[in-house]
Amino acid sequence: MTASLLLAAGFLLLLVALYILSEPVETLRFFYSPAAAVFSTAGFLVAVLGLGLNLWGRQSAVFISLLLFFLLTLGLKCLHAVAHGGRPWAATMTHFGLFLFTFSLTFGSLRLENYRLLTQPNLPEMRALDLKSGQVRRLPIAVELQSFDIRYHELADLNHLEQAVPRQYIARVKIHDYTVEPARVREDSILVNRPLRAGGFHIYNTSFDPYGQGYVTFLLVKDPWRGATYAGIVLCLAGGLLLFIQKSRKRPLL
C-alpha cells in the first residue's frame, strides 16, 4: 500500500526533476514539445490497439511502458504550462485534467480494493472475497440482506416471467458499520446505478442468484484515489467547454 504511494511520488519527482533539468539541458525540452505529444500519443494508441486486438494485456511491459511515456510527456507539458502562467487556459485545463485522470487511475489501481460478498437473507456477513488476492478477508462492515426484489416493466405478463425484462433490482439491506465506536446499524436499499456508501466502501448491487436460492452477491469497492479521478474529469470537462466556446481560428488552439 505504501509502495504504491512511493511509486506515485517517485514518478512525480521524476517529472519535476526532468523539468528543472530541461532548463540547462536543451534536449530535454523535446519532452514537452508538440512533437513529443505526437509520438507519445501515437505510442499509447498502439498500446491501446494491442489491448483491443488481444495482442498483449494491461500488465504487459509494452503496455505499461507506453502508458508511462504518455503520462511523462503529458505531465511535463502540464508543468511547462503552469510554469508559464497557465495560458491558454483551456489547453492547460484539458491537459492537466487528462493527466490527473490517467495518473490517478494508473497509480490508484494499486490501492484499489475490490471484494465480492455473498449474502443470505437475515444473516449478517462480513467475510468477503478479495478479488485481487483471491483470499477471504474479514471486513470492518457487515452486510445483512433483508429482501431482494426484481421490478419488471409494467406491461410484462406475470405468467411468463422468464420473458419479462427487469426494470430494477432492489436489495434491502442492514449495514453493520464497525469502523465507528459504538458500531452503527442502518437500513437502506441498494439499486443498480445507486450504490450505498458505508465504512469507506461503496457497495454495489451487481448480481443475484438466478436460481432463486436466495443468495445475493455485492461488490464492495474501496477507491481512496477516486477524488483525484473526479477532479481530473471535472477539469477536462471544464477545459473542453472553454475550448468549445472559444472562437474558431485558422489554427486549432490546443
Partner 1 sequence: MMSWSNFGLFALPAVLAWIGGTVCMVWAPRRGKRAGDLLYIGGLLALAVFIGGFWLNLERPPFRTMGETRLWYAFFLPLCGFLVYKRYRYAFVPAFTTLLATVFIAMNLFKPEIHDKTLMPALQSVWFSPHVVIYIFAYALLGVAFLLACYRLLRRQAAAAETLAVEDNLTRIGWICLGIGMFFGAIWAKQAWGHFWTWDPKETWAAATFLCYGLYLHLRIAFPKAESWAQTAQIAGFLLLQMCWYGLNLFPALGQSSLHIYN
Among 12, 14, 18, 37, binds partner 1 (CB under 8 A): 37
Strands (E), the chain: 113-119, 125-130, 136-152, 166-177, 184-191, 196-198, 201-208, 216-222
Of the candidates 198, 238, 246, the residue with the CA atom closest to the CA atom of residue 222: 198
Report the alpha-carbon angle 202-117-127, nearest 5: 110
Would you call 110 exposed, middle or buried from its count of C-beta atoms within 10 A (0-12, 13-18, 19+)? middle
**Distance from C-alpha of 243 to C-alpha of 248, rounded to nearest angstrom:** 9
Query: Any contact of residue 251 with partner 1 (CB under 8 A)?
Result: yes
Q: How far is the CB of 75 from partner 1 (least distance, A)?
A: 16
Contact status, residue 145 vs residue 171, Cβ threshold 8 Å:
yes
Q: What is the 8-class DSSP label of residue 194?
A: B
Window contacting partner 1 (CB under 8 A); options: 5-13, 135-143, 174-182, 243-251: 243-251
Q: How far is the CB of 60 from partner 1 (least distance, A)?
A: 12
Among 24, 193, 210, 211, binds partner 1 (CB under 8 A): 193
Query: Any contact of residue 254 with partner 1 (CB under 8 A)?
Result: yes
> Smaller CB distance to partner 1: residue 11 or 39?
39
Which residues in the 55-94 window bind partner 1 by CB under 8 A? 58, 94
Window contacting partner 1 (CB under 8 A); options: 11-19, 48-56, 133-141, 177-185: 48-56
Would you call 69 exposed, middle or buried from its count of C-beta atoms within 10 A (0-12, 13-18, 19+)? middle
Q: How far is the CB of 99 from partner 1 (least distance, A)?
A: 13
Query: Any contact of residue 165 with partner 1 (CB under 8 A)?
Result: yes
Q: How many CB atoms lie within 10 A of CB 37?
A: 17
Which residues are near partner 1 by CB under 8 A? Answer: 33-35, 37-38, 41-42, 44-45, 48-49, 51-54, 58, 94, 101, 105, 112, 114, 153, 165-169, 191-195, 202, 204, 206, 219, 221, 223, 226, 229-230, 233, 236-237, 240, 243-244, 248, 250-252, 254
